[in-house]
Amino acid sequence: MTNKMLIGNWKMEVGSRESVALARGALLALRGKKQLPEVVVCPSFPALADVRKVIARSHVSLGAQNVHHEEKGAFTGEVSARMLEEQGASFCLVGHSERRAMGETDAQVAKKVSELYAHGITPVLCVGETLAQRKSGISSQAVTNQLQSSLTGVSIRGRDRLCIAYEPIWAIGTGTPASPQDAVAMHDTIRQRIGILFPGLASSRLQVLYGGSIDATNAYRFLREPEVGGLLIGGASVHLSQFTKIIAEAADVLEGLSHA
Ligand code: PEP
């Protein structure tokens, strides 16, 4: 069955009160829809508990925006995968370019992925090329290298899922998304590489998403592509009307596909 996943990355934009309102909006947007996209909301750490209450027993899942790569210890201000599990997170972003820009390395990202799996949390691994790499025509190579080194030493077992978000760095927060055609081509590259890295991973356990300047005006053009497993949405996901419109569109695309 086709799945479309929508992940809202609320970054450091909204606190608990607004996060709760956005989560309620997501629930309302799904109400009455026959085909439901898988919606994941990623509030800031302090808002996780409040949002968890709102989405309990619903089709919306809780995600975190980051995790520390060590299991535990004297890491002031950090949050471990076990803590996220206790908070009810079932997804967590890793390797977001905004964190890589703060010094996060591929080796740390790989450790984060393993920590998350150890606690039953699905990683959403973000990869994407820089503008310079794109201009040099090495986008696929850059993304493939990033996948390889961000997943070194990672084992994927049994029912584990893996989400990869293709987020070209030049497209994040700039208002200029990739073209759906370029995104589709990179999704194919990603699927191929993950197939090589994890030959035992069933395709139904791999979700490849696009992220970068998605809003209510362009989301449909990506969602309608069968290769695009969903969207990672930053800026637009903290605007209730945009976020709910994108959710409704994903439900409509799935409804259309169910009749195709
Ligand atoms: C993101 O932060 O993951 C993202 C895709 O941001 P935006 O949608 O604002 O480009």
For the chain, domains (ranges, CATH) are 5-70+77-258 (3.20.20.70)
Q: What mean pLDDT is predicted for residues 166-192?
A: 98
Q: What mean pLDDT is predicted for residues 56-78?
A: 97
List 96, 115, 129, 249, catalytic entry:
96
DSSP state of 211: E
Please report the pLDDT score of residue 196 as a whole number.
Answer: 97
pLDDT band, residue 258 (cuts 50/70/90):
confident
Mutation choice for ligand 1 from 167, 209, 217, 246, CB with most ligand atoms inside 8 A: 167
Please state, in angstroms and rounded to a whole number, the distance separating the CA atoms of residues 231 and 207: 10
Ligand 1 in reach of 212 Cβ (< 6 A): yes
Please report the pLDDT score of residue 1 as a whole number.
Answer: 63
Contacts of 143 (CB under 8 A, 6+ apart): 127, 128, 129, 166, 186, 189, 190
Largest CA distance in the chain: 54
Please state, in angstroms and rounded to a whole number, the distance separating the CA atoms of residues 117 and 112: 9
Is a pLDDT exceeding 70 seen at residue 148? yes
Q: Are 174 and 214 in contact (CB under 8 A)?
A: no
- Is-catalytic flag, 167? yes
Average pLDDT of every residue of the chain? 97
Please report the pLDDT score of residue 260 as a whole number.
Answer: 79
Q: What mean pLDDT is predicted for residues 15-31?
A: 97
Contacts of 32 (CB under 8 A, 6+ apart): none
- Is-catalytic flag, 119? no
| 74 alpha carbon – ligand 1 mean position (Å) | 31
Q: What mean pLDDT is predicted for residues 104-120?
A: 98
Q: Are 190 and 146 in contact (CB under 8 A)?
A: no
